[in-house]
Structure 1
Amino acid sequence: MLVVTAEIWPDGDESKSHEIGYIFASNEADIDGASAYEARILQNCSEHLSTAAIDRYVLAFRERSDGVWGLVAEISNSAGITAGHGINPIVAQQLQSALAENKKGNEDA
């Protein structure tokens, strides 16, 4: 069984961490390196993160050689969970500039 736990660490502080979601996946069939996984996805509702609660069961089919992240992506896709609508390009540029400034500040220190 594969168990994936998603946590938020506010300000990078593990002591303030809280779990926001889980995936539990079990390999139910394996034929020639391909597997069928039964998975349950749980996500806690969070007003702070603007996320809705999710509790879904899905089937995912993957080549085992795709690795764990390919399986996690397939489970998410099978559950209809997508990356959303993206971010406003202006906001993305502002974030990129802020990251560059932070990086420069860290190098100067």
Structure 2
Amino acid sequence: MPSAAAVIERDLLQFLETVARESVRGPDDDLFAGGYLTSLGALELVAFLEGQYGIAVEVEDLDLDNFRSVTRIVDFVLAKRSAREQGGSPGAAAAAPGGGGR
């Protein structure tokens, strides 16, 4: 059975392909610099993450570094889910250690 990170990565790559109308080359590609995400696409991404993973993306979470690559988004979602499961504060993922490495 694939890990939670692998499932989230697969889902994100499929979502981004739909939004960007092209495949992201790699999980560490910069989604904004590479043209995969626009500001509207970023809003769609936040809505997707909230609906798909049952997390709340708070204002303090809206740091581009949390959404710059698929790898960073996976880390963000896992941190938010972990904080939720542990009863942590909604913005706990924004301060997650590591800032993007798995």
TM surpasses 0.5: no
> Higher helix share goes to which structure?
2
> Higher strand share goes to which structure?
1
Which has more radius of gyration? 1
TM value normalised by structure 1: 0.21
TM value normalised by structure 2: 0.22
